[in-house]
Structure 1
Amino acid sequence: MAGGRTSALSLPVDATASSEFRSFRARTPLFTVSAGRVLVTLTLPERLGAADVEFARGLAEQAAAYAVEVERLYRSGRRPSGRSGRGSGKGRAA
């Protein structure tokens, strides 16, 4: 990430957490994650560029990797132990 200030947000997920993708004909799409009393919506500028496509692809790749890890933990019966510091941290969507 480039220099400057960084904000961090941790969203503990449970059975009430959700995510939603909404596509529109005349405007850019929205992707929303809701957890507890927090709602995060990803929006894009009206004019899209290559960096916007790169971000969306990175987001999809990181979300897919997250899903694989969650399923692996679930199937193994192991209880997650909080922040492990694992993961590549690569990509703008991480």
Structure 2
Amino acid sequence: MGRGPALSLPINGHSGAEFRSYPRANPIFTFRAGHVLVSLTLPDRLLPDHVAFARALADQAAAYAAEVERIYRNGNTDRRTR
């Protein structure tokens, strides 16, 4: 798989993430940063690739959280983005 366009979103006090599950509808995972809103939901028919994507998303989010916590614990709270 090739690389496509990339988007970097600075996280601030107005950023957030939310998961909603519904009994008779597809779940929705939404995150926002500034004026950008991204929502992920499922197609009508699930495939193994959809499960793999969801697992990879969870793994990468956990890795991101661990790194943010590590940086915060080390007192390096004034980092600049590249």
TM-score band by shorter chain is: 0.7 to 0.9
Q: Name the SS of the counterpart of 2:56 in structure 1.
A: helix
Q: CA deviation at 1:11?
A: 1.0
Q: Name the SS of the counterpart of 1:20 in structure 2.
A: strand
What is the RMSD of the two structures over their aligned residues, measured on CA atoms? 1.5
Query: Counterpart of 2:81?
Result: 82
Query: Counterpart of 1:6?
Result: 4
- For the pair 1:17 / 2:15, whether they are aligned, the reply is yes
Query: Counterpart of 1:51?
Result: 49
- For the pair 1:39 / 2:37, whether they are aligned, the reply is yes
Compared with structure 1, are the counterparts of its residues 39 and 60 closer, same or farther at alpha carbon in structure 2 (3 Å cutoff)?
same
Q: Name the SS of the counterpart of 1:16 in structure 2.
A: coil
Query: Counterpart of 1:90?
Result: none
Q: CA deviation at 1:29?
A: 1.0
Scaled by the length of structure 1, the TM-score of the pair is 0.77
Query: Counterpart of 2:64?
Result: 66
Scaled by the length of structure 2, the TM-score of the pair is 0.88
Q: CA deviation at 1:46?
A: 1.1
Amino acid at match of 2:36: V
Higher strand share: 2
Highest RCO, 1 vs 2 (Cα 8 Å, sep ≥ 6): 1
Q: Runs in 1 of length 4+ with deviation above 4 angstroms? A: none
Tell me, which stretches of 5 or more residues in structure 2 are unaligned? Answer: none
Q: What is the CA–CA distance in structure 2 between the aligned matches of 1:64 and 1:50, rounded to whole Å?
A: 21
Compared with structure 1, are the counterparts of its residues 44 and 7 closer, same or farther at alpha carbon in structure 2 (3 Å cutoff)?
farther
